[in-house]
Amino acid sequence: MEEQRAKRKPVGKVAVPGTPWAIVWTGDGRHFFFNPSAKLSLWEVPEELKTRSDIDKLLKDGPNGSQSNEDEEEEESVTDKKDNQPAPTPVRVPEISIGEPPAKKQKEEPTVDLDAARKIREIKAAKQIEEMPLEVRLEKFYDLLRENNISAFSTYEREERKLEKDDRFLLLLSTARRQAFDDFLADKAQLEVKLRKAQKDEKIAKFEEMCENWKGNRFSEFAARFARDKRFLAFDKMKERETLFFAYKKKLKDQSLNDSKKKKEDIKLDFMDILDQKKCQELKNWEEVVDKIEGLAAFKAAPEDERRSWYVSFLKTLALEQDEDAKLALKQHEAEEKKRRMQEAIEKRKRQAEEARGAIGRQMDTERKKHQTGAARDTFVTMLSEKIRSTDYNWDDAKSKLKKESRWSQVSELERSEMEALFHEHMDSLKEKRKKAYHQLLQEHKINTTSSWKEIRRKIKDDVRYQKFSSSERKKEREFNDYIDGLGTKARQEFQEMLEECRLITYETEEQIREENEAGKILNEIIEILKVDSRWKALASLGSERKHMTRGFVREKHRAGPPAPITASQRNPAGTLQNKRP
């Protein structure tokens, strides 16, 4: 064991020029790379030295210069010498005894010296490298990789320990070995890509076989029909199936379009051949050409809107070849075409002029009709004002009366619905005027909340405003009562405002009334002050009710409590804060 430890100690060192690295050899024949600046040791070649071409030479020369040839010769002779002792140089094979060791040593060290075995393999591999061509060594290395089923996505570092046990691993130098490994992985990855693509293309081809048997265009129906088909289930995602389905339909459509274009080109070529065979360039114009070839199949197969343009193309082609007949025919065609365009332009201008006149005429008709309708509406409103002066009319009665007028024919253009709407507007306006005049009449007679209908009726029955309001006495009385109710409501609102304005009434007034010695004194003082106000007098008809209203307001004021200070805030119904002012 001590001898093995001594062998593992460094015995030589060579610096790599231009780098901080050095190659260090140990007594057991191995070497490693040492960087004293970074205090780093590596058994493998560092990345920054892999591109240098002198590394292999330095390793071959060893720590004592060029000695590789001598080492190889001694390595070959070491197997025949059992008594040979190891030399002091760490890379010399004589250091390692490969003969049968003594029995005592076998008991002490039963395990095989792996480093010595590797050295022997390296010597053997070095001989094979010299004897075997590079192509054969590469093929054996590739066989090793294939036998170990190396993944296309693996790395050299991951697979090295597994592969270095095989003698074929040493058939290539380290740089060439790594390059061969990378090339093998690249080829295998490319092969796997091609294989996956071929498998996918096969699945797509089978899927398109299904699509070929389906004439519909809806994917949902297609999916329901072939839901259990293996060709359909070959794709996991429904989106992918749908994409393939519509891609196939698009391919069919494009193919159909291409077929149509090719068919059209073939028809055009046949048409051109017929024109050439019949020497149609010698004819004067297109009409003579049609008369000559219209019975032929190529003419009938040509689209009707393309025949003339193809004929012109035929003439232009021959004209470029200096065909005089074609030049004359083309010149004649251009003259006819120019004449035709002029005629079309004239016709177009005529149509535009007629359309403009028609638009102007329609606009004038619209304006005229609008004016007539407006005049008829004004006439009808005038008839309503003159003939319908009572609020008791309904539409049927009013219409019967208006039809007797000579001006009825002037309003016959109006729609029935419009006439009826104008009538109702007139009646609403008339009722509003009569109501306003009636209220003014009641106001002039100083009506208050205590006035009675019979008494007031005797006073106003002879007034024209009373008579025009309505022919129904019930309507007149009902309107009178409504007017009285309105006066009462207004008077109570004003009375409430008066109480709010009275500064004698506060939240403390209720307690003062309860504590006073003479009952009712404070309340009577307040009432005496309120009597001066006209709003108190306006409710004279209520009598003692005014006092009860005042007393109730005092109690309400007491329940409300003292007013909030000006700076206090309270929430409004919307939930926001606002300042409460007295």
Residue 377 has pLDDT above 70, yes or no: yes
| C-alpha distances in Å from residue 366, one per residue of 369, 371, 418 | 5, 8, 18
Q: What is the pLDDT of residue 447?
A: 74
How much is the average pLDDT of 265-273? 85
Q: Cβ contacts of residue 450 below 8 Å, gap of 6+?
A: 540, 541
Q: Among residues 288, 273, 274, which one has the least CA distance to residue 329?
A: 288
Question: How many other C-beta atoms can be found within 10 angstroms of the C-beta atom of residue 113?
Answer: 17
Helix (H, G, I), strand (E, B) or coil at 206: helix
Residue 574 has pLDDT above 50, yes or no: no
Backbone angles phi, psi at 150, to 5 degrees: -70, 130
Residue 491 has pLDDT above 70, yes or no: yes
Q: How far apart are CA 310 and CA 313, in angstroms?
A: 5
Q: What is the pLDDT of residue 3?
A: 62
Q: Cβ contacts of residue 37 below 8 Å, gap of 6+?
A: 20
Backbone CA torsion sign across 383, 385, 387, 393: positive
3-state DSSP helix/strand/coil % of the chain, to nearest 5: 70, 5, 30
Task: Name residue 381's amino acid.
Answer: V
Residue 378 has pLDDT above 80, yes or no: yes
Q: How far apart are CA 135 and CA 356, in angstroms?
A: 92
Determine which of 45-54, 62-71, 518-527 has the lowest per-residue pLDDT on average.
62-71
Q: How would you class 141 by CB atoms within 10 Å of its CB: exposed for 0-12, middle for 13-18, buried for 19 or more?
A: buried
Task: Write down the H helix ranges in 152-236.
Answer: 156-163, 174-212, 219-225, 230-233
pTM: 0.32
* Residues 309-352: tens digit of each pLDDT: 888 888 888 888 778 888 888 888 888 888 888 988 999 999 89
Yes or no: say if 159 and 182 are a contact pair by the CB < 8 Å rule.
no
Q: Higher-confidence residue: 302 or 576?
A: 302
Question: How many other C-beta atoms can be found within 10 angstroms of the C-beta atom of residue 383?
Answer: 20
Long-range contacts of 441-447 (CB under 8 A, 24+ apart): 441/465, 441/466, 442/480, 442/483, 447/483, 447/484, 447/487
Q: Among residues 554, 538, 544, 545, which one has the least CA distance to residue 504?
A: 554
Q: How far apart are CA 506 and CA 526, in angstroms?
A: 11
Q: How far apart are CA 155 and CA 184, in angstroms?
A: 11
Structural domains of the chain in order of their starting residue, each with its CATH number? 1-110 (2.20.70.10), 445-579 (no CATH)
Q: What is the pLDDT of residue 559?
A: 81
Yes or no: say if 152 and 190 are a contact pair by the CB < 8 Å rule.
no
Q: What is the pLDDT of residue 345?
A: 92
Averaged confidence pLDDT in the chain: 76
Q: How far apart are CA 469 and CA 455, in angstroms?
A: 18
**pLDDT-derived band of residue 304, with 50, 70 and 90 as boundaries?**
confident
* Residues 519-562: tens digit of each pLDDT: 667 777 777 777 777 777 666 666 666 777 777 887 887 787 78
Yes or no: say if 487 and 449 are a contact pair by the CB < 8 Å rule.
yes
Q: What is the pLDDT of residue 346?
A: 92
* Residues 415-439: tens digit of each pLDDT: 888 888 988 888 888 778 877 887 7
Pairing outcome for strands 569-571 and 22-26: unpaired
| C-alpha distances in Å from residue 485, one per residue of 370, 477, 491 | 48, 12, 10
**pLDDT-derived band of residue 46, with 50, 70 and 90 as boundaries?**
confident
Q: What is the pLDDT of residue 576?
A: 46
Question: How many other C-beta atoms can be found within 10 angstroms of the C-beta atom of residue 373?
Answer: 15
Residue 370 has pLDDT above 50, yes or no: yes
Pairing outcome for strands 40-42 and 569-571: unpaired
Over pLDDT 70: what percentage of the chain? 82
Q: Cβ contacts of residue 481 below 8 Å, gap of 6+?
A: 453
Yes or no: say if 554 and 527 are a contact pair by the CB < 8 Å rule.
no
How many residues comprise the chain?
A: 582
Q: What is the pLDDT of residue 86?
A: 40
